[in-house]
Amino acid sequence: MKVTFVKTGGRRYRVDVTRDRAPGLWVGSIGYDDYLPHDLLHFVAEAEFGLDGGIFGDLATGGNARNFMPLDKKLIAKMWRAKRRKRTRLPDGRRSEELAWMLENAWRRHSSGKPVGDPALERLLPMLDELAERWHALRVGESMTLAWPRPERRRVKPATPHHRKR
């Protein structure tokens, strides 16, 4: 799965997702930042901390993470019907949000010369520095693409007990 962050305006961006096992998706900006947009922080948090039950993990299983829309407009009605039948659950969603917030704060502390104090976050600072520099250098209409570090897979249905009448 490839995730592309596109600068679409002065303080706007979108996220495009291309997948081998499911149709492509997109979503508009949620939290713009000149250096580290909110969705980019989610991507790093989920990729680096192994959260397959968050936004990008759901996308890697063929889901839409509640907010993403099909790139192919013919698939929109089908997606909305499926969404009404089954509510998308993101079991790692809250943890992803917490980690994205922690990463942003750690990077801001680091950028202002203050110690971070958390080795798990400190190890990611060089990557965040590189991503922030790449994002900041983009002009409107330009993009950067990141590869999801784990393979796409099918959604695993929770086990249900089988009761047989005797």
> pTM (2 decimals)?
0.86
Alpha-carbon span 1 to 61, nearest angstrom: 10
Over residues 13-57, the pLDDT tens digits come to 999 999 999 999 999 987 889 999 999 999 999 999 999 999 999
pLDDT tens per residue across span 134-143? 999 999 999 9
Whole-number average pLDDT of the chain:
89
Tell me what percent of the residues of the chain surpass a pLDDT of 70.
Answer: 86
Handedness of CA 128, 23, 152, 61 (dihedral sign): positive
The per-residue pLDDT for 150 is 96
- What is the distance between the alpha carbons of residues 47 and 149, in angstroms, rounded to a whole number? 6
CB within 8 Å of 3: residues ≥ 6 apart: 15, 16, 17, 43, 56, 59, 145, 146, 147, 148
What is the reported pLDDT for 166? 47
Given this model, what pLDDT does residue 86 score?
Answer: 66
Say if residue 161's pLDDT is above 80.
no
CA distance 141 to 26: 15
